[in-house]
Structure 1
Amino acid sequence: MAKKGIYILINDFDTMSRLVKRLEGEIEHFRVVSDVCVRNGKLEVVKKVAGELGNDQKGFLEQLKELKKQIYLCFLNINRSRRLVMEEIMVVQQENRGKSFLCC
């Protein structure tokens, strides 16, 4: 059971890592486009870039929502795994108590 929980958590963390890297790429793209816009300084370019960034922002926000969902699922898996481990510990303790009463 513990191996399965660890496997799931590793996959969750890997997914979150990929999502964060995608978001970092988007942020870097925003930065580069903004730098080009500032360096050029022409109003037409600024308007075009602003429109592009507005369209890109929707995708960025969707990626943030996806990351938030993944973080939530990861916390659920962590809590479920913790609960299963605690239940297993309680079962072992109860079995050990039962054995100690029988031995004495």
Structure 2
Amino acid sequence: MVRRAHDELEHGRDVARIAVQGRGERPLLQEVTREEAECEEDLRTQLEELEEHVCLCLITINRSRRMVAHEMTGGSLQPTPQH
């Protein structure tokens, strides 16, 4: 997921370089603007997916830590409420 987001960012940079090299040609700038808008939306979606995935991973890690602590104490820990 990180690689995909990085690739999307690099693509945006490449498109911006093309625009700079085009020296302000109107059709090229219009196309670059359109492309950048699409790339921005794709990148935003990918970053939201990545954020959700990281949060789910952290929840799983914390749940596993609680289970291990519970096992190590012989089951004497009180379970914490799930949110």
Deviation for aligned residue 1:72: 0.3
Q: Which runs of 4+ in 1 moved over 3 A?
A: none
The number of equivalent residue pairs is 75
Give me the identity figure in percent: 32
Return the structure number with greater relative CO, CA threshold 8 A, min gap 6.
1
Aligned to 1:91, the other structure's residue is in SS state coil
TM-score (normalizing by structure 2): 0.84
- Gapped runs of 5+ residues in structure 2? 77-83
TM-score (normalizing by structure 1): 0.68
Deviation for aligned residue 1:43: 2.3
- For residues 47-77 of structure 1, give each alpha carbon's deviation from its aligned partner in whole angstroms, at most 9, with x where no partner exists: 2101111012111111011000000000001
Q: Are 2:5 and 1:26 equivalent residues in the alignment?
A: no
- Gapped runs of 5+ residues in structure 1? 1-18, 95-104
Larger Rg: 1
Q: How does 1:76-95 map to 2 (within 5 A)?
A: 76-91=59-74
